[in-house]
Amino acid sequence: MEKLYTEAHDELEKGNYTRAVKLYELLKSRFPYGRFAQQAQMDSAYAHYLDEEQELALADIELFEKQYPNHPESDYMLYLKGLVLFNQDQSFMNKFSAQDWSERDPTANRRAYQTFAELIQRYPQSRYVADATDRMTKIVHALGGHEMSVARYYMERGAYVAAANRAKNVVTGFQNTEFVEEALAMMMSAYEKMNQTTLSNDAKRVLESNYPNSKYLKNGWVNPNKSP
């Protein structure tokens, strides 16, 4: 049993993920109980994660959680689940600095956020809490960016009610992101387009109060992603 596990782990270390998973499966079928079987299940999930096989990784994690709900490394498996969801868009991993967060799948982002939040709540002393917290901050930024991207789409097409509502979501739900200034400007312009003078002025006052030097105060909202 130990020899088989060592061989599988060596394959994992070498990056031979498919071979490693096969050996882990063989180990679990021959020796379904004990610490080596448990570790094989954990390593199999990690191998699938490294091999960009997200669904298989999630299936391994779910099975582990059912089989060993009180395992001492349950925090690690929950953290790994968050990583799988966080990194579902592998192009993001390959272009970390260039990737537009607003283009990422908001469903995966929300699931990742919920998973990291569960980790922090259940295992506040876990060594993975700090990284999970940092990733949650990035996810909030991503979700705010996605909401702003949808708002721009509606605004560009003259769907001012939908644009104003989306922008309001950014202001109320993503206060600590960089998108609030633009969202307030969009609300100001969208309400003006709809002849909602009071609402437009309200948005402008909030914009002036929080961003007195905002470029939007003079000319109203313009899409920042469009070339002049």
pLDDT, tens only, 68-107: 999 999 999 999 999 999 987 544 444 443 445 555 668 8
Mean pLDDT of 200-209: 97
Distance, CA of 40 to CA of 25 (rounded, Å) = 8
* Contact in structure between 25 and 4 (CB atoms under 8 Å): no
Confidence of residue 171 (pLDDT cuts 50, 70, 90): very high
pLDDT, tens only, 139-167: 999 899 999 999 999 999 999 999 999 99
Q: Which pLDDT does position 96 carry in this prediction?
A: 41
Q: Which pLDDT does position 107 carry in this prediction?
A: 86
Where in the chain are all domains bearing CATH 1.25.40.10?
1-71, 78-228
Predicted TM-score of the model (pTM): 0.82
Which residues, other chains included, contact 180 with Cβ-Cβ below 8 Å and sequence gap of 6+? 170, 171, 174, 210
Question: Which of the four CATH numbers 3.40.50.170, 3.40.190.10, 1.25.40.10, 2.120.10.30 does domain 1-71 have?
Answer: 1.25.40.10
Taking residue 82's Cβ as centre, other Cβ atoms within 10 Å add up to 26
Distance, CA of 199 to CA of 95 (rounded, Å) = 40
pLDDT, tens only, 11-33: 999 999 999 999 999 999 999 99
Per-residue pLDDT at 62 exceeds 90: yes
CATH architecture for segment(s) 78-228: Alpha Horseshoe (1.25)
- CA distances for 18 relative to 13, 109, 212, 221, angstroms: 12, 27, 57, 52
* Contact in structure between 77 and 71 (CB atoms under 8 Å): yes
Arithmetic mean of pLDDT over the chain: 91
